[in-house]
Structure 1
Amino acid sequence: MSVFLTCRLKNSIGRKKFFNFSSDIVRQLSQQVKQNESFVPFMDVIKFRREEARRSILVQVQSAQSFKELHSYCNSVGNVRQMLHYTVGVEPLNFIVVEFASEKDVTNVLERSSYLEDSQVVPVQSQFLWFRASNRKLPKLKQSKSAILSIENGNQCVTPSEIVNLLSKCDSVSEQMNVLYNSTKLNDLGTRLRFLTARQVENAVRGMFPKAKAYPFGSSVNGYGKMGCDLDLVLRLCDDKVKNDARLMFHCKGLVGSERTASQRNMEAIGDLLQLFLPGCSQVRRILQARVPIIKYYQQLTDVECDLSMANMSGVHMSDFLYIMGSLDARIRPLVFTIRKWASEIGLTNSSPGRWITNFSLTLLVLAFLQKPINSKPILPSLNTLVKLAEPKDSYMTEDGINCTFLRDITKLKTPTENKESLETLLVEFFEFYSQFDFASKALCLNESVAITKPEHCALYIVNPLERGLNVSKNVSMEELDRFRVEARNAAWILESQENKNENWGILSIFENKRKASSVVNFAFANKHGRLVEVSTLFEENTDKPVEYKNASVKKQVENIKNDTKNKLKELQKTNR
């Protein structure tokens, strides 16, 4: 796979950009192989990334070439492990993430750092710094000969045209899906920047709350995040367990008003902290009346959109569950990425909240589908199976009483799946399954691996795996659900009816179906397999190749519709005369 990606990318991306991008993918693929050989539990990954952030600083520099002088300075204070470069903005600002060998090295660097003597500047100290140019007082440093820039322009996303170029040169639909996944997923630098962003918030409140922790959750850490994805954060002011044997206890203030009112006031104070004091935090918006109050803001220095909450840890445990499910089989994440891309391209999902289906709901739809017997063999276990196999160390209960207990180490599952279907087959089966699913009376439940009767009336009901009383897709309207079913039917038909490769073949053909969707919906009939056929194709008599039908009943149905329609057209013509 890595050899293929190198060959394909060389034709579509400039030489320097190609080297950085392809080498990054090759590195990620090799890391992925290692991870598959030795599974790392989710909380261990979080712990490793948090420690990595504590050993790192983020430095704004004049250009990527500043890394040699920066390396010389940082190495005189501590032991530099690696340096990663990226840019932000149209007129790019340059930044370098410097990772040290130990957290003590970062402490030494920060103790030697300063800020401008300016009454208009808030003197905040953090791991976000800028590298001053040399002058008479600051002589130029020697450029380190041992300095190596591990990544240059590491946060650069693949453009839509480059993705099309990559996918059009693949040999199969399954290969297209793997390439799409590996070329768009969140890379190592993107993950580092998100944990550094979390670290900034954590450090900002640690003067008063020394045990505070900011946990990333959602797509940034669950394995389904793509380049440029938002960062979801939950801030915990004290995440340590209560010491029941302690004799000395801290004096604390009681809550003023209800718990929700106190949470809203705390969030408002955190919003002020972000807006007034923390460098890079801009566009701060307080959404305090939501079910879970959040603060949305943009971190300019890491180029990350953030959603900060102070809710319970259920979001982190949900991310753990999704991470586990994605790690059970190498086909799952490419399938999720492809379906999310399809939904985005044809307008089923939207970046703004509303009545449309979300990426989270789509992911759960994919996982629920993979729990069903596909050719008699399911790929994923139910959540209840993981609960039954849980060990005492896997037991988690949130302060709201949400039971988040399930097996965290998937190496302890008895046997892997015997299902060996290709990604292409799974994609078509997904579309066919949901184009015929009884959404009117059934709800999807990942806990049981079976469809259950709807607990309440709504268009789409997907049971929240951890908070079983909640419907994660309650926002979806009936019109949007109907659109989803029709588009799924269309996509299945398009993929199965392709015979020859053209410019936009395979998954590219279902991505470009946006403009044709409305006409297909209005002028189509469904065969017994639930797939849509455009009526206009039934009357194409002067084609080079006749239409082929899979069985006689479908052919007879088509011929009857053709004859009936022709007779009606003749009657209309006579009436008009």
Structure 2
Amino acid sequence: MSVFLSCHVRRGVQNAIGRNIKLNLNDGKNVRRMSSLKVTETEKGKKFVPFTDMVSSRRAEARRSIVVQVQSSQSFKELHAYCSSVGTVKQMLHYTVGVEPMNFIVVEFASEKDVTSILDKSSYVEDSQIIPVHSQFLWFRASNRKLPKLKQSKTAILNAENGNNNLTAAEIVDLLKKCDSVSDQMKQLYDFTKLNDLGTRLRFLTACQVEDAVRGMFPSAKAFPFGSSVNGFGKMECDLDLVLRLSDEKVKSDARLMFHCKALVGSERSASQRNMEAMGDLLQLFLPGCSHVRRILQARVPIIKYHQQLTDVECDLSMSNMSGVHMSDFLYIMGSIDDRVRPLIFTIRKWACEIGLTNSSPGRWITNFSLTLLVLAFLQKPPHSPPILPSLNNLVKLADSTDHYMTEDGINCTFLRNINKLKKPAGNKESLESLLKEFFEFYSHFDFTSKAVCLNEPVAITKPEHCAMYIVNPLERGLNVSKNVGLEELDRFKVEARNAAWLLESQEHKTENWGLLSIFENKRKSNNLFNFAFPNKQARLMEVSTLFENEAAPVEFKNESVKKQVESIRNEKKQKLKEIQKLNR
């Protein structure tokens, strides 16, 4: 469930930790009813909402909304009274930004006309030092002699208070400690860290600002969010990826009057870089809230990075083709097929972050996108159970005429968009805990030396070129999404996966840090290829060499694969000792 963690809800969470995480969300004295706490249609097992329909619905929602800076959350009653005098207020959601918090309220109206009316009544400070920009980002002026205080609305309801607050690391630990099983821990981690409704609204409003900024000259321009903000794998505070299309209309073949347009000067790439440079200036000089604008124009895909202070969102803006949006559609579909997919991916991403496998800075580290594809590929062909997800080629075969898409770069993005037409694979009843263990075991033994991970077919393929790790981009099949990963980082990934599998397999009783906490707390760098972690509070890490120091007291193994590896190493060590003894003679 998507959660707005208001001040009251945060206290409810803390109190619920002592009551087996059963939150009393219907307590009218402490918690207002919040629309974000309702179970979604997909979670109820109702009809699936295709990606394009979901995005269109969110875009329309953003068009019906404004963001208003207020003095405090209690300003909502007076703000409701003012807005209701102009249009019909549908709901109001409060959030804060900054250490010394600035307060904002998202006001959603019943129609887009109401927003037009409220903006027509709005103004700006008369000051020669400001840029007079009209947008959906406003502030609520305090009452004075000319502006008498409005009567507070008696019908006003604040649907969320502090709706963008995150659980702290300590709160997450407390939450996970009280769970009954590893599967429950995975579900709780997903439910309480995923991007909530307000977070999604703020990202579409941020996209709307960029769109409106260029619509005077390009009336059909659209800014499409893609990536984790829309594919169902985003967590609170995730970045917003945007692709700006100056025209999203198809050429009218029957038109007699044609617009005069400027031809591109130079190569398409240099023209794209110049356009991005101009967009960077527009963001930096004219749009309120846009700060820390950085132009990264020499990358394979030129982007503008900036921070939208009013929604507290980090943004990456590009003007390249739409393949990223179609990839988001594919990931959205894969996450919607089975309710175990997203909690599993959230857990593995969290594990990788905690032990330092992923890094916020670009480099030789494995990325969250690569990890996501590894999980999806694993779920297409789990070693000990039937498949959970279909291959991309299977979705391509089921596509109809409405599913055909080709980008301007010739990338075929055709696949089934509506999974209501897909027969769900039957027979896999594995728990989340079992799937997590199988994932770690699967990739700790995967032959990355000669094989590539591919989601197009449910089989590993021969690696097409020499590199440490090769994960085929499902849509742009000539690209390796993990090309940046070095051999050392790949070795670390396999060692850490082996360690995690060992930890989860060897736990018989709950300890202070059990289940997911045991694999999250293992913050270290692996110096040796064969390290195993044990659930011993005194000495958690053990190198394989110590397993051979006292053969009179053999170690008891519960995991057969680990046992075979250790026996193999032991035999190899004995053979090397014999060879050394011969040389000494």
TM-score, normalising length from structure 2? 0.89
Residue aligned with 1:30, SS: coil
Measure the CA separation in 2 of the matches of 1:362 and 1:24. Answer: 36
Amino acid at match of 1:186: L
2:263 maps to which residue?
Answer: 254
Q: Could you say which structure has the higher helix fraction?
A: 1
* 552-561 or 283-292: bigger deviation: 552-561
Q: CA deviation at 1:518?
A: 3.0
Whether the 8 Å CA contact 1:231–1:304 is kept in 2: the answer is yes
Which of 4, 7, 10 is the aligned partner of 2:15? 10
Amino acid at match of 2:87: G
Measure the CA separation in 2 of the matches of 1:172 and 1:195. Answer: 36
Q: CA deviation at 1:374?
A: 4.0
Amino acid at match of 2:351: W
Question: Judging changes above 3 Å, is the alpha-carbon distance between structure 1 residues 344 and 76 closer, same or farther for their aligned structure 2 residues?
Answer: same
1:420 and 2:425 are equivalent in the alignment: no
**What do residues 141-198 of structure 1 show as CA deviations (whole Å, max 9, x unaligned)?**
0000000000000000111110000001100000000000000000000000000000
Residue aligned with 1:134, SS: coil
Question: Judging changes above 3 Å, is the alpha-carbon distance between structure 1 residues 109 and 291 closer, same or farther for their aligned structure 2 residues?
Answer: same
2:375 maps to which residue?
Answer: 366
Measure the CA separation in 1 of the matches of 2:155 and 2:230. Answer: 33
Which of 502, 521, 526 is the aligned partner of 1:518? 526
Measure the CA separation in 2 of the matches of 1:105 and 1:147. Answer: 17
Question: Judging changes above 3 Å, is the alpha-carbon distance between structure 1 residues 459 and 559 closer, same or farther for their aligned structure 2 residues?
Answer: closer
Residue aligned with 1:157, SS: coil
Structure 1: gaps spanning 5 or more residues: 526-530, 573-577
Measure the CA separation in 2 of the matches of 1:140 and 1:445. Answer: 63
1:168 maps to which residue?
Answer: 177
Identical residues among aligned pairs (%): 72
Q: CA deviation at 1:539?
A: 6.3
1:439 and 2:461 are equivalent in the alignment: no
Measure the CA separation in 2 of the matches of 1:180 and 1:345. Answer: 14
1:90 maps to which residue?
Answer: 99
Whether the 8 Å CA contact 2:530–2:544 is kept in 1: the answer is no
Question: Judging changes above 3 Å, is the alpha-carbon distance between structure 1 residues 540 and 158 closer, same or farther for their aligned structure 2 residues?
Answer: farther
1:203 and 2:212 are equivalent in the alignment: yes
Question: Judging changes above 3 Å, is the alpha-carbon distance between structure 1 residues 19 and 158 closer, same or farther for their aligned structure 2 residues?
Answer: farther
Q: CA deviation at 1:10?
A: 2.2
Equivalent pairs counted in the alignment come to 559
Which of 153, 156, 174 is the aligned partner of 1:147? 156
TM-score, normalising length from structure 1? 0.90
1:99 and 2:108 are equivalent in the alignment: yes
Question: Judging changes above 3 Å, is the alpha-carbon distance between structure 1 residues 137 and 419 closer, same or farther for their aligned structure 2 residues?
Answer: same
1:240 and 2:245 are equivalent in the alignment: no
Measure the CA separation in 1 of the matches of 2:47 and 2:248. Answer: 29
Question: Judging changes above 3 Å, is the alpha-carbon distance between structure 1 residues 400 and 24 closer, same or farther for their aligned structure 2 residues?
Answer: farther
1:528 maps to which residue?
Answer: none
1:185 maps to which residue?
Answer: 194
Whether the 8 Å CA contact 1:312–1:399 is kept in 2: the answer is yes
Which of 107, 112, 125 is the aligned partner of 1:116? 125
Whether the 8 Å CA contact 2:2–2:37 is kept in 1: the answer is no
Which of 486, 497, 507 is the aligned partner of 1:477? 486
Instruction: Kindly report which structure 2 residues correspond to 1:270-419, keeping only aligned pairs within 5 A, or say none.
Output: 270-419=279-428
Question: Judging changes above 3 Å, is the alpha-carbon distance between structure 1 residues 347 and 556 closer, same or farther for their aligned structure 2 residues?
Answer: closer
Measure the CA separation in 2 of the matches of 1:510 and 1:116. Answer: 54
Amino acid at match of 1:478: L
Q: CA deviation at 1:449?
A: 1.6
1:75 maps to which residue?
Answer: 84
Amino acid at match of 1:476: V
Question: Judging changes above 3 Å, is the alpha-carbon distance between structure 1 residues 304 and 469 closer, same or farther for their aligned structure 2 residues?
Answer: same
1:575 maps to which residue?
Answer: none
1:136 maps to which residue?
Answer: 145
Question: Judging changes above 3 Å, is the alpha-carbon distance between structure 1 residues 278 and 532 closer, same or farther for their aligned structure 2 residues?
Answer: same
Whether the 8 Å CA contact 1:10–1:18 is kept in 2: the answer is no
Whether the 8 Å CA contact 1:9–1:18 is kept in 2: the answer is no
Report the aligned-residue RMSD: 3.2
Amino acid at match of 2:495: V
**What do residues 368-409 of structure 1 show as CA deviations (whole Å, max 9, x unaligned)?**
000004434111100000000000000001111111000000
**What do residues 458-514 of structure 1 show as CA deviations (whole Å, max 9, x unaligned)?**
111111100111111111111100100000001000100011101110011000111
Whether the 8 Å CA contact 1:344–1:350 is kept in 2: the answer is yes
Measure the CA separation in 2 of the matches of 1:2 and 1:96. Answer: 19
Q: CA deviation at 1:37?
A: 1.6
Question: Judging changes above 3 Å, is the alpha-carbon distance between structure 1 residues 552 and 266 closer, same or farther for their aligned structure 2 residues?
Answer: closer
1:30 maps to which residue?
Answer: 39
Question: Judging changes above 3 Å, is the alpha-carbon distance between structure 1 residues 557 and 173 closer, same or farther for their aligned structure 2 residues?
Answer: closer
Whether the 8 Å CA contact 1:459–1:481 is kept in 2: the answer is yes
Q: CA deviation at 1:552?
A: 13
Measure the CA separation in 1 of the matches of 2:54 and 2:486. Answer: 37
Residue aligned with 2:509, SS: coil
Q: CA deviation at 1:24?
A: 8.6
1:457 and 2:466 are equivalent in the alignment: yes
Amino acid at match of 1:149: L
Whether the 8 Å CA contact 1:490–1:532 is kept in 2: the answer is no
Whether the 8 Å CA contact 1:489–1:532 is kept in 2: the answer is no
